[in-house]
Structures are given as structure tokens and as C-alpha cells.
Amino acid sequence: MYTCTQQSKFLQYSVYMEKFSFPIFKTKVSGVTGRFLLEDPVERRKYFDQKAGLEIEKLRDYLSKGNTFVGFIMGPKNSGKGTYTKLFMEAVGGDHVAHISVGDVVRGVHKDLGTEAGKKALMDFLKKRYRGFIDLDKVFDVILGRDTKTHLPTEVILALVEREIDRIGRKAIFIDGFPRNLDQISYSLYFRALIGYRDDPDFFVFIDVPEAVIDERMKYRVSCPVCQSPRNTKLLRTKEVRYDANGKEFYLLCDNPLCSGFGNARMVSKEGDSLGINAIRERLEMEAVVVKKLLTIQGVPKVFLRNSIPVEQAQEYVDDYEITPSYHYELEGETVKVVEEPWTVTGDDGVRSYSLLPVPVALALIKQTVRALDL
């Protein structure tokens, strides 16, 4: 999929905005003609079958035999980590694959600590698995925000992630949000041994996305309150768009076929996303340092995902329907009219680029995962 010149750029650290230069993955497949409406779940299934049918069958066969893996997915906030893994699960099958957000796991502990039964169950688990330097009562104070001076130790995070893995059962997992700083890198390298869970093959997934794309994704991001599938009112709509006459706003309905709220759940935004990328500037800088370090690690397979493609190279590497459109909506009587326009961004290197839709990036994830697992 890559040229020799592109391969040599895998570890090139770009001078632009502390970013990394990743190769372009070719999603245009010889012999596959026609167009696919990628926001439609039925059309997405056809797209994946046509462009990655062989790889999907290899993964399904691998997973159906009880095999699993651990994929550490690295990318800045709103770079698409959750979206790409959910699309991977949609294509391959959610019965054998799970996505674990470390941030969501830690936040979920709040619910457990809200009841005596939940607190006891969590305490019992941590007594068995936690090894660290602060006592568990203080750990709970940190989680609940009563202690704002102490950072949550990595040892606690590992124990909480293991607990989540136990809840999920025997599945392949994508871990989102770990490692987050330089001190956690060594933990990630020996993650399997540290959690004492299983001897899975593991690999790192790196995502490159222009800051302009992150900014727009943050400002217009929504998610399903039932299954947490992420979408974007401007850049990644669902099949069904409705109008709220009371709130005088357009909204999306969840179209994840694996969701119990399919076709009915109204997708909602997260507090703070309207501030855009400036709200996470410090975090982006730290994540860039971590990724730079991880890119030099040997002995662990690496998957490279790139969200954008220079305009002048788009025709060679991708189909035009794989390029991100920009949407806005108009009300015609009681019907919502969807207006679609091309969306072009200036990359961090100053190059005029198209942003790719999540589905072709997920296609790259599927194909490269097969390679990382040597299937």
C-alpha cells in the first residue's frame, strides 16, 4: 500500500506544529466501481465487503477461534479514536472486539462509589489487584475530586482497566487514552504482564490529523447517549436528521445497528466542546511528546492512520466519496433538507488538503491490523 519513499517517512518528525509525517494509505481499490453512501450502515457494509472483504474474513476467523489482541490507539482528543474503533467493530463484528476509553473507565468509577454495594465491589477488586504507594481511601478521594493535589497513580489506572476487561469478557480490545505521558510508556510496553490478564499480541495505532480538523470536530461533535457512538453535525452526519422546533435546532438520530436506541436516540454534544482546540492545547503538546517517543520503539508493530490527503494527490489515492463533505441543514416545511459542500482545510504544513471521512480511515485500520497480527 505504501511506496518506498513513503516507508522512509514513517519515523520522520515534522517541524510543523510538532506534528508527524505519516504516509498516505491508498483506499482506492482496482475493480471496485460505483459510489457508497458512507453515512448509511447498509452502504458501509457493502463498502467494507468490497474493499476489505478478505481482511475482514481473516479477522473474523482469527477472533472466532478465541484469539484476541491489544491495540493501543494514540491520537489527540477528537482525532477519531472512538469513531475508528467503533467502525472497525461494526465491520468485523462487535461480539469479539471492544473499545476501552481510559477516561471513561475512570469517570465510570464515580457511579460505583455512589452506592455502598458499588464501593465494596470496587474495593474488593482493588484489594486483589492494586499494588501502589497510596492507600485505597486516598485513591477514592482522588477519583471523586476531593483530593485535587494528588494525581491518580498509573497503578490504579491499570487496575481499573483490568477490571473493565474482566467486565467485557474475552474480547480483542482497543485501549484509548493510555499511555498519556512519558512515565506511562514503560507500563504500556509490558501491559499484558502488568495486568496479569492474557498473553495477547499487541500493537500501537498512531493517528495523524490536522489541527483545523480537530477544531471543527470538537465544535460540532455529538454522541449517542445509549451506545456512545460519536458523530458530527457538520462533518459526519447520520442517516436521519430531525428538527427540534422548541429548541430551534437540527439534530441527528443514532444509526449504529448494534445500538438498542437505533433510529430513536437523539445524539447530544459534550460540555466544553464549543471552545474548540484551544481548550486542549497543553494536552496536545504533551501527547506529541509521547507519540514522538513511541515512534522510536522497536519490537512492537505499528499502524499508521492519516486523516487528510493533499488535494493534488487525492485522485490517485482515494475515491471522491471518501473525502469529507461539510453539511448544513435547511427546513422545507416539515422536511429537513441536507446541503452538502466540499470541505477543504489547510494542513499543519500549510498544504491545502482534504479531510477523509472516518470510514476510509477505518478501512486502513482493518487492513493494517491484519498486517500487524501477521494473518
SS (H, E, C) 205-257: EEEECCHHHHHHHHHHEEECCCCCCEEECCCECCCCEEEECCCCEEEEECCCC
Q: Is residue 4 a part of any domain in this protein?
A: no
Joined grid coordinates for residue 248? 430551534
Ramachandran area for residue 91 (φ above 0: left; ψ -120 to 50: alpha; else beta)? alpha
Q: Are 293 and 317 within one domain?
A: yes
Q: Are 221 and 116 within one domain?
A: no
Q: Is residue 6 a part of any domain in this protein?
A: no
pLDDT at 17: 33
Q: Are 131 and 212 within one domain?
A: no
Q: Is residue 246 a part of any domain in this protein?
A: yes
Domain boundary among 142, 170, 198: 170
Joined grid coordinates for residue 279? 481548550
Q: Is residue 184 a part of any domain in this protein?
A: yes
Q: Are 129 and 226 within one domain?
A: no
Q: Are 317 and 198 within one domain?
A: yes
Q: Are 90 and 54 within one domain?
A: yes
- What pTM was estimated for this model as a whole? 0.75
Residue 135 and residue 153 in contact, taking contact as beta carbons nearer than 8 Å? no
Other Cβ atoms within 10 Å of 125 Cβ, number: 16
Ramachandran area for residue 72 (φ above 0: left; ψ -120 to 50: alpha; else beta)? beta
pLDDT tens digits, the chain, 375 residues: what are they?
544 444 333 333 333 334 556 788 999 998 898 899 998 899 999 999 999 999 999 999 999 999 999 898 888 777 888 889 999 999 998 899 999 888 888 788 877 777 888 888 888 888 887 777 778 777 777 777 665 566 677 778 888 888 888 888 888 999 887 766 666 666 566 566 555 556 788 898 999 888 888 888 788 889 999 998 888 898 888 989 999 999 999 999 998 888 888 888 999 987 777 677 777 777 777 777 777 777 888 888 999 999 889 999 999 999 999 998 889 999 998 899 999 887 888 877 788 899 899 999 999 999 999 999 999
Query: Bridge-partner residues for 304, per DSSP?
Result: 206
Q: Structural domain tally of the chain?
A: 2
pLDDT at 269: 85
Q: Is residue 7 a part of any domain in this protein?
A: no
Q: Are 366 and 267 within one domain?
A: yes
Q: Are 127 and 158 within one domain?
A: yes
Q: Are 123 and 228 within one domain?
A: no
Domain boundary among 144, 170, 196: 170
Which residues form the domain of 63? 13-96+172-372
Q: Is residue 233 a part of any domain in this protein?
A: yes
Domain boundary among 120, 143, 170: 170
How far apart are the C-alpha atoms of 95 and 47, rounded to whole Å? Answer: 21
Other Cβ atoms within 10 Å of 92 Cβ, number: 24
Number of helices (H) and strands (E) in the chain: give both, helices first: 13, 14
| CA-to-CA dists, residue 364 to 52, 80, 206, 293, 342, angstroms | 9, 13, 12, 23, 22
Q: Is residue 1 a part of any domain in this protein?
A: no
Among candidate residues 71, 12, 98, 367, the one with its CA nearest the CA of residue 206: 71
Q: Is residue 305 a part of any domain in this protein?
A: yes
Secondary structure of residue 118 in the 3-state scheme: helix
Angle between helix 116-129 and helix 102-112 axes, rounded to 10 deg: 130
How many alpha carbons lie under 13 Å from residue 143 in its C-beta half-sphere?
A: 26
Other Cβ atoms within 10 Å of 232 Cβ, number: 25
Measure the CA dihedral 29/32/36/41, to 10°: -80
pLDDT at 2: 44
Q: Are 256 and 108 within one domain?
A: no
Q: Are 43 and 160 within one domain?
A: no
Among candidate residues 242, 176, 163, the one with its CA nearest the CA of residue 204: 176
Burial of 3 by CB count in 10 Å (0-12 exposed, 13-18 middle, 19+ buried)?
exposed
Measure the CA dihedral 296/299/300/301, to 10°: 90
Q: Are 112 and 250 within one domain?
A: no
Joined grid coordinates for residue 209? 490529523
